[in-house]
Amino acid sequence: MLTDTEIKAQVRARYGAIADADGCGCSGEVGACLTNGLYDGVEGHVAAADLGLGCGLPTRHAGIEAGDVVLDLGAGAGNDAFVARTLVGAAGRVIGVDMTPAMVDRARANAAKVGFANVEFRLGELESLPVADGSVDVVISNCVLNLVPDKATAYAEIFRVLRPGAHFCISDIVASQTLPDAIRAVAELQVGCIAGAMAKEPYLEVIRALGFTNVRIAEQRAIALPDSLLAPHLDAAQLAAFRASGTQLLSVTVLGEKPASACCAATCCG
């Protein structure tokens, strides 16, 4: 199995190459880009910033309001950040964080082209966000958290940066049940958004265990996982066992809230 450091190096190298080119990355490994058509008619969509790397449309369910401070995790070339900027307006602010320098550079260039002064992009990892405590109204992310080896730490960071009573809306890839070790061990699948996918219920429990409330799935759809993708990495028996298990990959959009008060005893919650 790859170490956390090796996974990050693989991801950074892969997405650095994508930043210097165009087209699908993570989603392309599963087949057609999963965001094809999702952004049609969406205000704020910037075609040059859409590299087809998402698996959902988190801004659709995020409840972003004018004047909000929005944090986009794994912002890539800025696609969802620019949509969020349209929702927060001139009085709001959008911060994008990405761990790949080439992506941050491309996002900043795109922001300069569209003239958004209140959108900024920072270099950083999701397990150690370069964002102040309690400074964010809404956290969004699109097909990134499943690439992070330590999801509990990443969600703990989300909890830290959100204001009390604020919330997140994250589109991600999960599995209907635990993926076989043979799939999880393959580097190409890790970088391609497959091997890093947790089973859905344990994924949600990680979030709830950190103190988030009202954790729920706003949208879910199955993702095709063709034999042609798995066959180079699994022998015939492994592939047959995987199919027999009925395991599916799912695109889910998850919401959760940081409690308005950390204390819920009668003395402090009335």
Q: Are 110 and 46 in contact (CB under 8 A)?
A: yes
CA distance 148 to 125: 9
Q: Are 78 and 70 in contact (CB under 8 A)?
A: no
Between helix 101-114 and helix 79-88 the angle, nearest 10°, is 40
Longest dimension (CA), the chain: 62
What is the tens place of the pLDDT at every residue in 148-163? 889 999 999 999 999 9
Per the DSSP assignment, residues forming a β-bridge with 95 are: 71, 120
Domain ranges of the chain: 4-259
CA distance 193 to 147: 6
In 49-100, alpha helices (H): 79-88
% of the chain beyond a pLDDT of 90: 55
What is the tens place of the pLDDT at every residue in 175-206? 999 888 888 777 667 666 676 789 999 999 99
What is the tens place of the pLDDT at every residue in 92-135? 999 999 999 999 999 999 999 999 999 999 999 999 999 999 99
* Residue bearing tokens 């960071």: 157
Superfamily assignment of 4-259 in CATH? Answer: Vaccinia Virus protein VP39 (3.40.50.150)
